[in-house]
Amino acid sequence: MKAYFFDLDGTLTDARDGLHSSFRAALSAIGLNSPGSAELDRFLGTPLPEMFRALKPGISQKEIEGGIAAFRTAYEGGGIRLNRLYPGVREMLQKLKHNGTPVWIVTSKPQPYADEVVEDLGLRPLVAGVVGAGLEEVDTKRELVSRAISEAGVAASDVIMLGDRHYDIEGALQNGVAAVGALWGYGSLEELKSAGCKTFAKSVSDFCRQFVDVSTAALTALSVPHAAAG
165 neighbors 10 (Cβ within 8 angstroms): yes
Q: Is the pLDDT of residue 220 over 60?
A: no
Confidence of residue 1 (pLDDT cuts 50, 70, 90): confident
The residue that leads in pLDDT, 208 or 219, is 208
pLDDT of residue 224: 44
- Which of 112, 89, 83, 79 has the alpha carbon at shortest distance from 6? 89
Round the average pLDDT of the chain to a whole number and report it: 92
pLDDT of residue 230: 33
pLDDT of residue 113: 94
Q: Is the pLDDT of residue 205 over 50?
A: yes
Please tell me the distance from the alpha carbon of residue 138 to that of residue 211, in angstroms, as a whole number. 31
Judge residue 162's burial from the number of C-beta atoms within 10 Å of its C-beta, 0-12 exposed, 13-18 middle, 19 or more buried.
Answer: buried
Quickly list H helices, the chain: 16-29, 37-41, 48-55, 61-76, 89-99, 111-120, 141-152, 166-174, 189-194, 204-211, 216-220
Q: Is 213 helix (H, G, I), strand (E, B) or coil?
A: coil
Judge residue 148's burial from the number of C-beta atoms within 10 Å of its C-beta, 0-12 exposed, 13-18 middle, 19 or more buried.
Answer: buried
Average pLDDT over residues 126-151: 95
Confidence of residue 135 (pLDDT cuts 50, 70, 90): confident
Q: Name residues whose C-beta falls within 8 Å of residue 96's C-beta, 6 or more positions apart in sequence.
A: 4, 103, 126, 212
- pLDDT tens digits, one per residue of 179-201: 999 999 999 999 999 999 999 99
- pLDDT tens digits, one per residue of 3-56: 999 999 999 999 999 999 999 999 999 999 988 999 999 999 888 999 999 999
| Complete domains list, the chain, with CATH | 3-14+84-220 (3.40.50.1000), 16-81 (1.10.150.240)
pTM (two decimals): 0.88
Task: Say which amino acid occupies 98.
Answer: H
What proportion of the chain, given as a percentage, has pLDDT over 90?
87
pLDDT of residue 216: 53
pLDDT of residue 138: 85
Please tell me the distance from the alpha carbon of residue 36 to that of residue 20, in angstroms, as a whole number. 10
What proportion of the chain, given as a percentage, has pLDDT over 70?
93
pLDDT of residue 222: 58
Please tell me the distance from the alpha carbon of residue 111 to that of residue 95, in angstroms, as a whole number. 25
Q: Is the pLDDT of residue 156 over 60?
A: yes
pLDDT of residue 219: 58
- Residue-level length of the chain: 230
